[in-house]
């Protein structure tokens, strides 16, 4: 019998939004963090901007071809669609086409560097666009399904079948291949650039310690035991923890020092539903976790305490969560097009 009290509810602080379509990504847009506009990238091809229903703007980005992938950086949203186009969307709804795949193929991944560069992939073709708009292309050994920029330098990690390739688009340096058998899905650089972590087809994570030679056994980190694929990662603000989806709890790996090997991960928010989305608070050891059954909890890593942000809602698995820069507001979206905006009480 569970004797712990039900989580304290924040649901009265949530304003619901009607996105109407599967939400691909959530973000906060604009150059002034305090005035940032919440945005939801929608599978039908548009981006919905604005929180209160009166102020909502719908920016048409990819038309009927659909919006497939999106990522936010520096107050802008970058989207990739079924039309082979990569666009940026600003807080006021201004859409700018940044690049276009020559064959109009589906965009498989998009990443932004934080200092103006972006990268995207269509199958094996990976294109990097620096802050001046120069395009460089690279052919990965197989589809580059996950892309992540290193925090420093113009360097891109791409996850593909049997490993990760690290590529410097603006130098002649040969790309570095980090081999590990299996299909790698998403990729993520740690904030200090010491680690690259991927999710895998086999319900596991794989990581590399970049300080070691990739052929060296100690370079590898295997993080397994998930009942489903991990499709959402989030690093803590100080880079010392990595929260992951894919289990019936948020699994948080310790990345202090030399990484998580030999240390057990933390588990928070244990429920009878799979975690689908995780987002670390930008300034505290608090994780917003979205579940397959629609529930959203705020979880404190230090003591495991829970706050309820959204109760379970049928057929409304959580597909996107984003904190604003100050960590006072949270926007989320779900597979059935429901969405909401949580404003933490002062």
Partner 1 sequence: MSGKIPVTVLTGYLGAGKTTLLNRILSEPHDKKYAVIVNEFGEIGIDNDLVVGADEEVFEMNNGCICCTVRGDLIRIIDGLMKRKGKFDAIIVETTGLADPAPVAQTFFMDQDVGERARLDAVVTVADARWLLERLVDAPEAKNQIAFADVIVLNKIDLVTPAELEAVEARIRLLNPAAKLHRTTKCALPIADVMDRNAFDLDRILEIEPDFLEEGHHHHHADDIRSMSFEIKGDVDPDKFMPWIQDLTQVQGPDILRCKGILAFKNEPKRFVFQGVHMLLDGDLQRNWHDGETRVSRAVFIGRNLDRDAIRKGFFATAA
Single out the residue of 152, 181, 213, 263 in contact with partner 1 (rule: CB under 8 A): 181
Taking the complex as a whole, how short is the minimal distance between the CB of residue 181 and partner 1, in angstroms? 6
Q: Which stretch binds partner 1 (CB under 8 A): 50-58, 147-155, 186-194, 198-206?
A: 198-206
> Of the candidates 160, 163, 221, which has an alpha carbon nearest to the alpha carbon of residue 195?
221
Angle at 338 between CA 335 and CA 341, to 5 degrees: 120
3-state secondary structure of 53: helix
**Using CB under 8 A, which residues numbered 309 to 338 contact partner 1?**
335
Is 61 among the residues that bind partner 1 (CB under 8 A)? no
Taking the complex as a whole, how short is the minimal distance between the CB of residue 195 and partner 1, in angstroms? 21
**Using CB under 8 A, which residues numbered 71 to 110 contact partner 1?**
82, 103, 105-106, 108
Strands (E), 14-84: 14-18, 23-29, 37-42, 46-49, 57-60, 67-73, 76-81
Taking the complex as a whole, how short is the minimal distance between the CB of residue 66 and partner 1, in angstroms? 6
Nearer to partner 1, 123 or 151 (CB): 123
Is 179 among the residues that bind partner 1 (CB under 8 A)? no
Single out the residue of 10, 17, 22, 78 in contact with partner 1 (rule: CB under 8 A): 22
**Using CB under 8 A, which residues numbered 234 to 293 contact partner 1?**
none
Is 161 among the residues that bind partner 1 (CB under 8 A)? yes
**Is residue 268 a contact partner of residue 249, using CB atoms and an 8 Å limit?**
yes
> Of the candidates 48, 44, 79, which has an alpha carbon nearest to the alpha carbon of residue 63?
44
Is 143 among the residues that bind partner 1 (CB under 8 A)? yes
Report the Cα 346 to chain-centroid distance in Å.
27
Collect contacts of 237-240 with beta carbons under 8 A, ≥24 apart. Answer: 237/280, 237/281, 237/282, 237/283, 237/284, 238/191, 239/190, 239/191, 239/192
Q: Which stretch binds partner 1 (CB under 8 A): 32-40, 142-150, 163-171, 191-199?
A: 142-150
**Is residue 252 a contact partner of residue 246, using CB atoms and an 8 Å limit?**
no
Single out the residue of 142, 170, 240, 305 in contact with partner 1 (rule: CB under 8 A): 142
Is 37 among the residues that bind partner 1 (CB under 8 A)? no
Which sign does the torsion angle of CA 297, 298, 302, 305 carry?
A: negative
Task: Tell me which residues touch partner 1 (CB under 8 A).
Answer: 22, 24, 43-44, 66, 68, 82, 103, 105-106, 108, 123-124, 142-143, 145, 161, 181-183, 200-203, 228-229, 335
């Amino acid at each position: 019998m569970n004797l712990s009290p039900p989580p304290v509810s924040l649901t009265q602080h949530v304003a619901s939004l009607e996105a109407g379509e599967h939400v691909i990504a959530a973000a906060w847009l604009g150059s002034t963090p305090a005035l940032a506009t919440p945005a939801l990238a929608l599978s039908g091809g548009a981006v919905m901007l604005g929180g209160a229903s009166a102020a909502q703007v719908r920016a048409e980005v990819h038309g009927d071809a659909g919006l497939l992938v999106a990522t936010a950086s520096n107050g802008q949203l970058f989207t990739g669609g079924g039309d082979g186009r990569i666009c940026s969307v600003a807080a006021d709804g201004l859409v700018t086409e940044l690049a276009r795949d020559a064959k109009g193929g589906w965009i498989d991944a998009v990443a932004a560097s934080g200092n103006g560069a972006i990268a995207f992939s269509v199958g094996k073709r990976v294109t990097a666009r620096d802050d001046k708009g120069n395009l460089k292309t690279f052919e990965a050994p197989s589809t580059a399904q996950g892309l992540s920029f290193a925090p420093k330098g113009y360097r891109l990690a791409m996850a593909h079948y049997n490993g990760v390739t690290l590529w410097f688009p603006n130098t002649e340096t040969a790309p570095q291949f980090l081999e590990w058998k299996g299909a790698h899905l998403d990729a993520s650089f740690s904030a200090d650039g010491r680690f690259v972590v991927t999710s895998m087809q086999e319900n596991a994570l794989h990581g590399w310690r970049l300080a070691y030679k990739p052929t060296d056994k100690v370079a590898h980190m295997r993080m397994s035991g998930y009942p489903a694929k991990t499709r959402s990662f989030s690093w803590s603000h100080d880079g010392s923890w990595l929260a992951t989806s894919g289990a019936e709890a948020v699994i948080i790996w310790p990345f202090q020092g030399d990484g998580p090997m030999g240390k057990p991960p933390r588990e928070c928010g244990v429920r009878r539903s799979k975690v689908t989305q995780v987002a670390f608070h930008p300034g505290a050891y608090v994780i917003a976790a979205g579940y397959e059954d629609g529930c959203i909890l705020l979880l404190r890593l230090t003591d495991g305490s829970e706050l309820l942000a959204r109760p379970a809602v049928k057929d409304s698995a959580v597909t996107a969560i984003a904190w604003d820069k100050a960590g006072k507001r949270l926007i989320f979206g779900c597979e059935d097009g429901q969405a909401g905006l949580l404003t933490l009480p002062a």
